[in-house]
């Protein structure tokens, strides 16, 4: 069961999790990081080092973050703004580099506050 990065990562992106991930499955958007669910090996290394406690196992996502698992998957499955194709599962974030855009949900997050 993969891990998910939630709202506490938005506009923080400490990146400790990226350095700790043994399979390079954490990708960088503009405001938030995303875990590629097909590449995640469920080791939990990322969760342990996140200083803002933004990462949780899919089965343990807090109720107030319930929309983040689907949004995390959408980052890889849907065509993001300014992109020609979905990111998919490229086999590591280092191959892709910073994507520089987020899902519409994350891009708009906090705008109504």
Residue 110: per-residue pLDDT: 84
pTM of the model as a whole:
0.94
What is the number of helices (H) and of strands (E) in the chain? 5, 4
Domain at 3-108, CATH class: alpha beta
pLDDT averages per 10-residue partition of the chain, 113 residues:
92 94 97 96 96 94 95 96 94 94 94 66
**CA–CA gap between residue 41 and residue 79 (Å, rounded):** 24
Residue 1: per-residue pLDDT: 64
């Amino acid at each position: 069961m993969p891990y998910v990065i939630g709202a506490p990562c938005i506009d923080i992106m400490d990146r400790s999790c990226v350095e700790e991930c043994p399979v390079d499955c954490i990708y960088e958007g503009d405001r938030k990081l995303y875990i590629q669910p097909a590449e995640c090996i469920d080791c939990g290394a990322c969760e342990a080092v996140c200083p803002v406690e933004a990462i949780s196992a899919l089965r343990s996502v807090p109720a107030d973050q319930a929309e983040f698992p689907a949004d995390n998957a959408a980052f890889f499955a849907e065509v993001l703004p300014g992109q020609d194709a979905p990111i998919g599962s490229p086999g590591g974030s280092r191959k892709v580099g910073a994507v520089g855009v987020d899902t519409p949900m994350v891009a708009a997050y906090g705008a109504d506050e």
